[in-house]
């Protein structure tokens, strides 16, 4: 899968951007959106990817799952200007469908959108509690076109991987394909941290340990070059309770008080 979000929509952690990527001596430099799309299309030329463009704001694409293990499946869903690419599978999807009163034909991407919509608009529950209730291996990216926000998360089960980086124009790039990310962002990329979530209005936090702050760990590649930093939970540092911003019911802007 591939997601590109304009820098005016998503402000990535500054540690993702490696100065090595932009140095004059760097062979591979970050690419612009049109080149990144081309790289992705070439990577999946045998299984034509499906893509969706949203002007200069966002671009989403995925290669349909065919003949791959269920934990590697990719599902896309779009409902009422909310769009989701889901990776992996949820073991407790049936019970979640009943809990939210959804139809039996609901897949993982559809469920994530409905959970996001319900909790954004009227739910009292914080996002970290919702994500802790998802059993299985999962990663997803939601683009809420009406709100102009992005929400992504990656489960603690390490069978699903997600990477993010910074393009030539400062846009954020996300993909489950490491080669695509490397070719698109040069040294300015890192693995998306397990058990964490990112909201474009709040930033990065752990839903496994919501009371702890995140810290950036310098990352050096095999060539000795500084890359985008890894992000880990700082076990020694607590964060203050995160106040709600804007709508009192915006699930992605709340934090656990437990």
Strand, coil or helix: 181: helix
Mean pLDDT, range 182-210, rounded to an integer: 95
Q: Is residue 6 part of a domain?
A: yes
Mean pLDDT, range 197-224, rounded to an integer: 91
To the nearest 10 degrees (0 to 180), the angle between helices 93-100 and 108-121 is: 40
Rounded to the nearest 5 degrees, what angle is found at the Cα of 12, between the Cα atoms of 124 and 249?
10
CA 138 to CA 254: how far, in whole Å? 21
> What is the average pLDDT score of the chain?
88
Q: Which residue has the higher pLDDT, 86 or 26?
A: 86
Confidence of residue 257 (pLDDT cuts 50, 70, 90): very low
Mean pLDDT, range 46-65, rounded to an integer: 93
Q: Is residue 244 part of a domain?
A: yes
CA 225 to CA 222: how far, in whole Å? 7
Q: Which H helix or E strand runs over 112?
A: helix 108-121
Confidence of residue 258 (pLDDT cuts 50, 70, 90): very low
Q: Is residue 258 part of a domain?
A: no
Q: The CATH number of the domain where 196 resides is what?
A: 3.60.20.10
Domain count, the chain: 1
Domain that holds residue 94: 2-253
Q: Is residue 159 part of a domain?
A: yes
pLDDT at 14 over 90: yes
CA 178 to CA 161: how far, in whole Å? 9
Q: Is residue 104 part of a domain?
A: yes
Phi, then psi, of 85 in degrees rounded to 5: -110, 120
Which whole-number Å values give the CA distances from 223 to 26, 66, 132, in the listed order?
12, 36, 38
Q: Is residue 166 part of a domain?
A: yes
Q: Which H helix or E strand runs over 184?
A: helix 178-185
Q: Is residue 127 part of a domain?
A: yes
Confidence of residue 129 (pLDDT cuts 50, 70, 90): confident
């Amino acid at each position: 899968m591939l997601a590109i979000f304009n820098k005016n929509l998503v402000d990535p952690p500054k540690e993702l951007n490696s100065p090595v990527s932009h140095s004059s001596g760097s062979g591979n430099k970050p690419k612009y959106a049109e080149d990144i799309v081309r790289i992705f299309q070439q990577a999946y030329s045998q299984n034509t990817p499906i893509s969706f463009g949203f002007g200069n704001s966002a671009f989403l694409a995925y290669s349909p799952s065919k003949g791959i293990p269920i934990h590697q499946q990719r599902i896309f869903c779009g409902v009422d200007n909310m769009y989701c690419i889901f990776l992996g599978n949820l073991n407790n999807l049936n019970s979640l469908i009943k809990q939210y009163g959804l139809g039996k034909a609901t897949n993982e991407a559809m469920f994530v959108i409905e959970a996001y919509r319900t909790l954004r608009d009227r739910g009292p529950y914080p996002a970290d509690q919702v994500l802790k209730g998802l059993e299985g291996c999962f990663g997803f990216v939601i683009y809420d076109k009406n709100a102009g926000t992005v929400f992504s998360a990656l489960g603690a089960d390490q069978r699903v991987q997600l990477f993010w980086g910074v393009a030539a124009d400062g846009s954020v790039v996300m993909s489950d394909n490491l080669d695509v990310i490397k070719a698109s962002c040069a040294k300015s990329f890192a693995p998306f941290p397990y058990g964490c979530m990112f909201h474009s209005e709040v930033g990065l936090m752990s839903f496994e340990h919501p009371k702890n702050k995140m810290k950036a760990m310098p990352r050096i590649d095999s060539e000795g070059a500084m890359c985008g930093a890894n992000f880990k939970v700082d076990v020694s540092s607590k964060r203050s309770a995160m106040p709600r911003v804007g709508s009192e019911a915006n699930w992605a802007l709340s934090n656990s008080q437990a």
